[in-house]
A and B are shown apart, each in its own frame.
Chain A
């Protein structure tokens, strides 16, 4: 299939490109990139006034399969990804069973081969059953195809166990992703500890539950020589710690999620469980610090932490509701609305956060549009405003923190390996 994307503003920071160009795609790769290409194509995408980015790489996605297919499956999750311009996802291992054995990873690989609409990379657990007690057999998981290790949703409390598994990961050349939460501090908390938890009468989660664990995990990274990636950074202290570690040339990278640069704890005023997230929404000062961290490079990437849940688990008392929100279909628009439009990041910097840096951290060789590169491309109408509605999601779940909000930036086309896999079609009745 030959595809010609005409006269879009191609933002490809890995190749220092931010200009209006044509892109010609053939045989699954970027075949040509020039100011003007005169070639016949099966599909011509008129992209004048639009932004053309490498396909997004989302490092933090819960596909829920196997085990919780009522929330999401590999198929629905990856369809949702394509709607959001995401062509590669890293699947989190907290499935049922978890990705702590070769057998389980092979099982998931099989499901991915049969049903995935986007590219799915698989992460393995750090410890058996993600209990933080016994390290997995890292080399075997690597052979089975995992590209990273994490106990996401839990932190390994025991320092010796953490050290052991990081040493193994370094040997295997696998990235370790850290969910930084000291459960002894976060306890049964459900929202950020502070004025809002006091007003709402809800148990608070102190910021130290995150930042102290970020500090510890970076320290263990230093001791073992194994690079670590800090997941879902939510507070100012963590940003500062990561920034200082980077100044000292520590091998640490970090991600944040769109809700942490878009929303503060004030959103919780009506006990809407779509704002119940772990780590919790923090203060407006933290939102500013997260934006600052994205700007100055303390935070390398944006990942959705797409965490689908059924209504049964969300439409209940706040204390009892599940943590987490979906995000695959809204993250890019949240980035455009909150970061590009508000001049926190340029388009080029946004592409670094969504494409270039995740590709570099995962070593997956995509995230750019160089001639010869696999043609994962997303076309965005940057001016299109749309209102987020649960019923429009491709995801099985609707627990979005952006429901009812108007966002700017609409994915119009997603191309994966040279195939148009998503085209935005406005509802006929509209």
Chain B
């Protein structure tokens, strides 16, 4: 597999520090991997002999499975560690856990953690590559990359497109990563939520803020609908479920006022009837399942790029042909 251009980062912690060129490299690399996963034999030897650990401190099925499939398509060995079965519960710190995993000569650690900054902390201390699979409310870079990949595939470009993100912006790592990535690629981003769920100072991240769903839909090329987590036990004030659907839920009626070709996205899992009506999720505008497929290609690209950039992975170049 050839690299499209220089990628020198050993880790992917967030999209905030990435340049337009780096983002372009990931998307272009993902494009060639998408071709791979369309073949009958969906596997390349790029990471043969490498080990990827999925270290998940939060329950997650789809992101974990997506990384697992991506790593396997690259011929890497994959180990899944979930909090329930690890020594985390015995009081081991994140850094100690990371060091122990590293001592097993693992090459890439994919980490999901409920504390913002956890992936950054691990990345700073590990020689192995660290990929952030979601840290607290901070970032979920591969989710945003797959959203961007899907948008680019559908619309042909990211520069100048209009994307609205609707939902709990304040507590969303998906929103933050999308905002950084999309704005850097030249897209215009609007965030839409009740005032309670808009975090202070978000305009400085380069987005427009609205509290009206119709404004978010008006003229948008795509709408990215976030999952509302009403079960969240944060102690923070939160709107009522039914009230939320009435005011912000995406329905077929609401979409009639939007652009005819508007794309509807969702990072999943969907709360049908809460943030989105069922007939929208399954309707013509929805690209939700394509996002899932693209997630494999994007995660293959990220695994591949960080592995290549990290000398530690391949000091003797044994896997190079």
Contact = CB atoms under 8 A, between A and B. Distances in A.
Interface of A: 187-188, 193-202, 204, 270-271, 312, 315-320
Given A194-B200, A198-B199, A198-B201, A316 B116 contact: no
Contacts of B201: 194-196, 198
B116 A201 contact: yes
Contacts of A320: 115
Interface in B82-136: 93-95, 113, 115-118, 120-121, 124, 135-136
Q: Which 6 A-B pairs have the closest CB atoms?
A: A195-B201, A271-B117, A201-B137, A201-B138, A317-B115, A201-B116
A200 B14 CA distance: 11
Contact of B95 (A195, A200, A204, A315): A315
Contacts of A271: 116-117, 120-121
Contacts of B120: 270-271
A197 B94 contact: no
Contacts of B93: 312, 315-316
B81 interface: no
Nearest to A317: B115
11 contacts: A195-B201, A195-B204, A197-B199, A198-B205, A199-B205, A201-B116, A201-B136, A204-B200, A317-B115, A317-B118, A319-B116
B37 interface: no
B95 to A, nearest CB: 6
B200 A193 contact: yes
A319 B138 contact: no
B139 interface: yes
A197 B200 contact: yes
Interface in B130-160: 135-139
Residue of B94, B115, B170, B205 contacting most chain A CB atoms (<10 Å): B115
A316 B200 contact: no
A194 B199 CA distance: 8
B136 to A, nearest CB: 5
Nearest to A195: B201
B55 to A, nearest CB: 13
A199 B95 contact: no
Nearest to A320: B115
Contacts of A312: 93
B315 interface: no
A132 B49 CA distance: 60
Interface residues of B, number: 27
B138 A317 contact: no
Contacts of A194: 200-201
Contact of B116 (A187, A193, A315, A318): A318
Contacts of A316: 93-95
A330 to B, nearest CB: 23
A291 B41 CA distance: 66
A195 B202 CA distance: 6
Given A201-B135, A201-B137, A317 B117 contact: yes
B38 interface: no
Given A198-B200, A315-B95, 18 more contacts: A187-B235, A194-B200, A195-B201, A195-B202, A195-B204, A198-B201, A198-B205, A199-B176, A200-B138, A201-B138, A201-B139, A201-B173, A202-B136, A271-B117, A271-B121, A312-B93, A317-B113, A319-B136
A318 B121 CA distance: 9
Nearest to B199: A198
A306 to B, nearest CB: 25
A193 B136 CA distance: 16
B214 interface: no
B16 interface: yes
Given A270-B124, A316-B94, A319-B136, A198 B116 contact: no
Nearest to B139: A201
A11 to B, nearest CB: 42
Contacts of A270: 120, 124
Contact of A318 (B117, B173, B204): B117
A204 B137 CA distance: 12
Nearest to A198: B199
A202 B201 CA distance: 13
A85 to B, nearest CB: 34
A193 B139 CA distance: 18
B208 to A, nearest CB: 15
Contacts of A193: 200
Contacts of B205: 198-199
B202 A198 contact: yes
A201 B134 CA distance: 11
A197 B117 CA distance: 12
A316 B95 CA distance: 7
A422 to B, nearest CB: 35
Nearest to B172: A201
A317 B200 contact: no
Interface in B6-34: 16
A317 B94 contact: yes
A200 B116 CA distance: 7
Residue of A199, A200, A270, A320 contacting most chain B CB atoms (<10 Å): A199
B10 to A, nearest CB: 15
A312 B173 CA distance: 27
A271 B136 CA distance: 13
A257 to B, nearest CB: 23
A409 to B, nearest CB: 31
A195 B200 CA distance: 6
Nearest to B138: A201
